[in-house]
Amino acid sequence: MKLPRHFFAPLAVGAPAPLREFPVRLERMIHFVPPHNEKLRAKVPDLVRQVDVVLGNLEDAIPVDAKEAARKGFIEMARAVDFGATGLWARINALNSPWALDDITELVRSAGNKLDVIMLPKVDGPWDIHYLDQLLAQLEARHGLKKPILIHAILETAQGVNNEFWPEVDGYFRLNEVTRIRLRTSFSANDETRTWQGDFGVHFDFALRPVFRRELRDDADVFRKRFLSFLAGYRYITSLGSGTPYLEHRWLVEMTSRFPAPGKLVLIDRHRGEMRFISSKGFSTRYRNKLQLERDFRPVGSFRFTPYAYGELFYDTRYDKWNRNRYAIGMRFPSGHHFAPELYFLHQNDSEKTPPHVNALGITLNFYF
């Protein structure tokens, strides 16, 4: 395991230390320059006073027979022009191209002291960034650079995004006005083993009765009318079928606050703490904060629906950082007092998973007893 103190250590002996804080520089206007075109290159000294970043493009916009000329033109431009506070970036060719290695080695050797950022296109996953990061550190050490060259990664390929379907069935068993039992069953692709996994849970819900205010809304689900509720539960998560086995025991506690907002909106703030026992990975904890905004509509008679949008952040102690975020939009369609289907689209980013991005279409069937 990589200890926290090693994250800011140079990746090569003699390389400059990684930045602990990114420099504050404006990037409102980035001007792309084809460096093989001498006429356009000659305009750069005047451009630097008008833009925030000058970017030498060596990639797709450059014809194959002009790749080397573009590389040499960029080096000449970097040496000849005083960029001052204007950033100098280079968009290199993709790592799987025959020009990428020469792009990196030549630019660092001949223009590394002026180059601020290398833009890496067509990133398939974190391994591409790790490779370039290591290579840059070695070249910075070899050529005696005093500041590290930053990496701007561009996700352009489908391999960097995984599309998934997340079905879920929840059963709510009401004990009285303020307590209930929730049984949960869901299925999804496991983002660590790339196999399907099942998530089976039992939860105990408790909601406080309003004291000084009336109930939040008119809803068959009592808990959606409460301003404050709590949850405690257990989940058993396991891989299904063949593939790398995965097993997790997860205990969780949760507090949810609901607030009326202008325009008949409801703001929901959920805080969750998780204790996770993952096979072969040991014990860890995770904190999740979810903010959701929703509104009830009742256009005709008893028909009603609730559109919503939310964002959620994850802090995982396995990595000691905020490694995951989710954004979703969805719709809930209550049907009577005992059934409420829900359909949503979710996008997830995770700096520690492969692939780092997930698009999920989810459907949840909620049953009330």
Q: Model confidence over 276-288: pLDDT tens digits?
A: 999 878 899 999 9
Asked if residues 26 and 153 have their Cβ atoms less than 8 Å apart, the reply is no
Average pLDDT over residues 17-21: 83
- Please report the domains of the chain, with CATH numbers, ordered by start residue: 28-156 (3.20.20.60), 162-368 (2.40.160)
Residue 266's pLDDT is 93
Residue 162's pLDDT is 77
Task: Report percent pLDDT > 70 for the chain.
Answer: 92
For residue 184, which phi and psi values (nearest 5 degrees)?
Answer: -130, 135
Q: Which of 234, 249, 107, 112 is nearest to 181 (CA)?
A: 234
Does residue 160 have a pLDDT over 70? no
Angstrom distance (rounded) from CA 272 to CA 208 = 18
Does residue 189 have a pLDDT over 90? no
Residue 212's pLDDT is 61
Asked if residues 34 and 55 have their Cβ atoms less than 8 Å apart, the reply is no
Residue 248's pLDDT is 93
Higher pLDDT, 290 or 241: 290
Average pLDDT over residues 75-100: 93
Asked if residues 112 and 139 have their Cβ atoms less than 8 Å apart, the reply is yes
**Average pLDDT of the residues of the chain:** 89
The model's confidence at residue 2, banded by pLDDT at 50, 70 and 90, is low
Residue 216's pLDDT is 73
Does residue 5 have a pLDDT over 70? no
Long-range contacts formed by 341-349: CB under 8 A, 24+ apart: 341/365, 341/366, 342/366, 346/166, 348/324, 349/324, 349/325
Task: Report percent pLDDT > 90 for the chain.
Answer: 63
The model's confidence at residue 242, banded by pLDDT at 50, 70 and 90, is low
For residue 236, which phi and psi values (nearest 5 degrees)?
Answer: -110, 115
Joined tokens for residue 88: 């100098």
Does residue 164 have a pLDDT over 60? yes
The residues with which 165 forms a beta bridge, in sequence order, are: 361
Average pLDDT over residues 98-124: 93
Residue 255's pLDDT is 96
Does residue 230 have a pLDDT over 90? yes
Q: Which of these ranges, 89-98, 223-232, 251-260, has the smallest mean pLDDT?
A: 223-232
Query: Which of 38-42, 48-52, 288-292 is modeled with the greatest confidence?
Result: 288-292
Condensed to tens digits (0 to 9), the pLDDT of residues 314-337 reads 999 998 999 999 999 999 999 888
Q: Which of these ranges, 21-35, 89-103, 316-330, 336-350, has the smallest mean pLDDT?
A: 21-35
Residue 196's pLDDT is 79
Average pLDDT over residues 178-197: 79
The model's confidence at residue 171, banded by pLDDT at 50, 70 and 90, is very high
Residue 123's pLDDT is 85
Residue 301's pLDDT is 76
Asked if residues 285 and 253 have their Cβ atoms less than 8 Å apart, the reply is no
Residue 254's pLDDT is 97
Does residue 36 have a pLDDT over 90? yes
